[in-house]
A and B are shown apart, each in its own frame.
Chain A
Amino acid sequence: MSELLTVNALSKAFGSKLVLDNINLHLESGRIYGLLGPNGSGKTTLIKLINGLLTASSGEIYVDGDKIGPSSKAIISYLPDKLYFSEWMTVNMLINYYSDFYDDFDKERAYQMLNNLAINPDDKLKILSKGTKEKVQLIMVMSRHAKLYILDEPIGGVDPASRDYILDTILNNYDENASILISTHLITDIERILDEVIFLQNGRTVLSAAVDDIRAREGKSVDELFREVFRCFPHY
C-alpha cells in the first residue's frame, strides 16, 4: 500500500483562533478512514485545506506526492457538507460538466445511479428537493474513479433509511485501490465500513488507529470509545 495523503505539521488559525494545531496524517491507498470528532473539532477545516479551499497558516499537504493543485484535484473526489451547484442547471448539464473536467468521470455509472433513484436527468436542480439534490451531489462524486474520496458529513442531515442508501452507494462505487476519508459524528451508522479512525478534538489529533486494533486493545467499539473520549461534563 502506498501513501496517498500526507499532512505534516498542519495548522490553521482564523485571526487569533487556532482551529487546527500541528496535525500530522498519513493515509494509505485502499483504506477507509473515519475522521471523527464533535462539532467544532476542525474536521471540515482539515478537509477544506486538503481540497485547497482554505490556505494553511503553516504546514504541508501532499496528495500522491504532489502539493495541492490541479494534479491533486484531478485525483480527489470531494463531497462537501453543503450544496454547491448552480440551481439553473439540469442534472444532464451537471453530468456533462463533470465529464468535461474529470477524465475519470463515468457517465454510465452516473445515469445508472440516477435511474436507481428515479431522478430525471432532464430536471432542473432548482425543482429538486434538498434531499434529492444531496443525492445528485453524491452521485456526481461517486461516479468518478478517483484515487481519494473525501466525504464531509455525507449522512449528516438525512433520515436513517437514506443513510443506509448513501453508505451502500459509497461502498458499491469506490474502487478497491482508492481510499475514502469520511468525516462524521454519527459513528454508529458508519463504524461497520471503517478500516481506520482519526479522532480530532479542539483541532488536535487525539487518536489515530485501526478499528480492529481499537476493538482488540480497548475491548470497545469505536462508538463506545468515541463517547468516552468526547464525553461532555456538565458545568455547575
Chain B
Amino acid sequence: MFSTLLKHEMKSLWHYTGIVVICVLIASVLFELGMISVFLIPNYIYDTVMVPTLIFLFFTITVALSYGVVFAVAYRFYRSMASDEGYLTHTLPVTVNELIGAKLFAGTVYTICSLLYIILFIILTAVIAVLVSGASDSIPEVLKDLEYVYKEIKENIPLPLFVYFIEFIIVGLFSSIYSNVVIFLCVALGQLMKKHKLIWSVVYYMLVTFVLQGLIQMGSTILGMVFGNGIERYVERVGVDGFVTVSQIIILVAFLVFAILSVCGYFITKYIFERKLNLE
C-alpha cells in the first residue's frame, strides 16, 4: 500500500506545485535569454532597465520554487489529514505510519528536486555568463586555478573531498526531512485544537521553528565557546588535522541534531494522528 500511497501523493503534490514549476521554468528561460541579451546589446539604457529586472527575476525564481514547494507540502498535508479530505484519507485501509511516511517521502523528493533545480540554475547561469561575455578564452586559466585549489586542499586536508561531498548530501537530505517533519508536526498539533485548526497550525509552526532555531543557535554558541573565539586562531592552535577532526564533529552533531529532531517530530505526529485524531 505504501507504493500506492506514494504514487497518489506525488500526483497530488504535482497538482499543487505544477503551476509554480511551469512558471519557474518559463521565468528561467526568460532570465537566461535576458542575460544573454544584456551581454550582446551593449546599451547603457537597456542595461539599467534589464539588470535590476534580471536580479529581481533571479530572486523571484529561487524564492518561488523553494517556498512554493514548502507551501504545497504543508497545504497538501493539512488538506488531506486535518480537513474534510481527511474523511477519505483516514478511512483508507493503511496504517498511520504508511500515510505519514508516504507524505514525508514525496515531500522530501519535491524539496530536494527544488534545491537541485536552484543549484543547476545557478551553475547554468554562470556557464552561460562566461560563454557569452567573451570570457571563454580564459576558461583554461580558470580550470588551471581550480586544479591548483583542489591540489592545495588535497595536500592540506587529510580527508578526501568526496567525503565532504557525501556529508553535505546527507546533512542536506536530513535537513529536508526535518523541515517537512516540522510542518507535519505543526499541522498535527493544530488539529488538536477545537477551532481554527489551520491558524493554530501556523502559530505552532512559528513557535516550534522559533524554539528550535533558538536551540540550534545556542548549540552553535556553545561550540564556538568550546573551540575558541575565531576559526583562524583555532586552526592555528590545533593545526589542520585538528581542524578536520573538529569539522567532522560539527558535521556529525548537525547530522545528529536533524536526525533526532526529525525522529521525535515524526513519532509525535504519528502519535497524534493515531491516538488523538479529532476530525470535525
Residues of chain A touching chain B, judged by Cβ–Cβ distance below 8 Å, are: 14-15, 48, 51-55, 69-71, 73-74, 76, 78, 80, 82-86, 88, 97, 100-102
Contacts and interface: CB of A to CB of B under 8 A. Distances in A.
Interface residues of B, number: 24
Contacts of B90: 51-53
Given A83-B84, A85-B85, A97-B8, A54 B91 contact: no
A88 B15 contact: yes
Contacts of B275: 55
Interface in B81-95: 84-88, 90-95
B202 interface: no
Contacts, number: 61
A15 B193 CA distance: 11
A79 B244 CA distance: 61
15 contacts: A15-B194, A52-B91, A52-B277, A53-B90, A55-B276, A70-B1, A73-B92, A74-B93, A78-B91, A82-B84, A84-B87, A85-B88, A86-B15, A100-B7, A101-B4
B278 A55 contact: yes
A80 to B, nearest CB: 5
B12 interface: yes
Given A86-B79, A86-B85, 9 more contacts: A15-B194, A53-B87, A53-B90, A53-B91, A53-B279, A73-B94, A78-B87, A86-B15, A100-B8
Interface in B144-190: none
Contacts of B79: 86
Contact of A86 (B12, B277, B279): B12
A17 to B, nearest CB: 11
A76 B90 CA distance: 12
Given A14-B194, A86-B12, A101-B1, A51 B85 contact: no
A233 B218 CA distance: 65
Contacts of B93: 70-71, 73-74, 101-102
Contacts of A14: 194
B105 to A, nearest CB: 17
B14 to A, nearest CB: 11
Contacts of B15: 86, 88
Contact of B86 (A71, A78, A84): A84
Interface in B1-20: 1, 4, 7-8, 12, 15
A84 B85 contact: yes
Nearest 5 CB-CB pairings of A with B = A74-B93, A84-B87, A73-B93, A70-B93, A53-B279
Given A53-B86, A80-B87, A82-B87, A69 B276 contact: no
A198 to B, nearest CB: 21
